């Protein structure tokens, strides 16, 4: 399977998992053309801008700033969904270093 195919599969699994928790898919940015991969909405929590990757996905300082700024502009949670053999882990992204990010539960 190609890297793009694996990435798309992770995005779809993330979308499906969040849908099971009451979130509604709004859009997917195919080919990583935007600040986030997915935009999801929830009647109680509002929006979530989501980057999806493997457990070793990193966001450098410039990427964190771009991602958090984009989420702020649309009043959405900036989330990183990382996949490993154990499943998905969600992180609430800030401009701070990743070790300071909090885990997030849908």
Mean pLDDT (whole number) for 46-56: 93
How many CB atoms within 10 Å of residue 95? 13
Mean pLDDT (whole number) for 47-62: 91
Q: What is the pTM of this model?
A: 0.91
**Distance between CA 91 and CA 85 in Å, rounded?**
17
Mean pLDDT of the chain: 91
Domain boundaries defined on the chain = 3-104
| CATH class belonging to 3-104 | alpha beta
pLDDT surpasses 90 at 54:
no
pLDDT surpasses 80 at 32:
no
């Amino acid at each position: 399977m190609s890297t793009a195919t694996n990435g798309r599969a992770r995005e779809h699994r993330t979308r499906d998992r969040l849908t099971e928790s009451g979130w509604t898919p709004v859009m997917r940015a195919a080919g990583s053309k935007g600040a986030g991969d997915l935009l999801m909405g929830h009647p109680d929590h509002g929006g979530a801008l989501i980057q999806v990757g493997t457990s070793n996905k990193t966001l450098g300082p410039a990427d964190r700033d771009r991602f958090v700024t984009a989420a702020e502009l649309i009043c959405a949670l900036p989330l990183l969904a990382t996949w490993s053999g154990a499943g998905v882990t969600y992180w609430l992204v800030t401009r701070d270093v990743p070790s300071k990010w909090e885990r997030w539960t849908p």
